[in-house]
Amino acid sequence: MNTKSQELFERARQVIPGGVNSPVRACKSVGCDPLFVARAKGSRLWSVDGQELIDFVMSWGPLLLGHCDPEVTAAVHRAADLGSSFGAPCEGEVGLAEAVRAALPSMDMVRMVSSGTEATMSALRLARAYTSRDQMVKFHGCYHGHADSFLASAGSGLLTLSIPGTPGVPADTVKDTLLADYNDLTNVEALFKEKGQGIACVIVEPVAGNMGLVLPKKGFLKGLRDLCTQYGALLIFDEVITGFRLGLSGAQGKYGIVPDLTTLGKIIGGGLPVGAYGGRREIMQRIAPSGDVYQAGTLSGNPLAMAAGIATLSKLATLDYAALEARTLAFATEMKAVLEGKGLPVSLTHIASMFTLFFTETPVKDFATAKTTNADLYSTFYAGMRKNGVNLAPSAYECAFTSFAHSDADLDQTLEAARKVAF
Residues in the chain: 423
| Backbone dihedral angles phi then psi of residue 30, each to the nearest 5 degrees | -110, 10
Is 336 a catalytic site residue?
A: no
CB 396 within 8 A of CB 212: yes
Closest CA to 120 of 44, 205, 178: 205
Is 238 a catalytic site residue?
A: yes
Other CB atoms within 10 A of residue 129 CB:
17
Other CB atoms within 10 A of residue 14 CB:
7
User: Using CA atoms, how far apart are residues 423 and 123, in angstroms rounded to an integer?
Assistant: 45
Closest CA to 228 of 268, 191, 272, 279: 191
Q: Which of 55, 184, 238, 260 is catalytic?
A: 238
CB 308 within 8 A of CB 271: yes
Is 217 a catalytic site residue?
A: no
Q: Which of 28, 138, 266, 371 is catalytic?
A: 266
CB 325 within 8 A of CB 312: no
User: Using CA atoms, how far apart are residues 139 and 201, in angstroms rounded to an integer?
Assistant: 12
Q: Which of 130, 143, 255, 382 is catalytic?
A: 143
Neighbouring residues of 234: CB distance < 8 A, sequence distance ≥ 6: 127, 130, 131, 200, 201, 202, 228, 260, 261, 279, 283
Residues classed as catalytic: 143, 238, 266
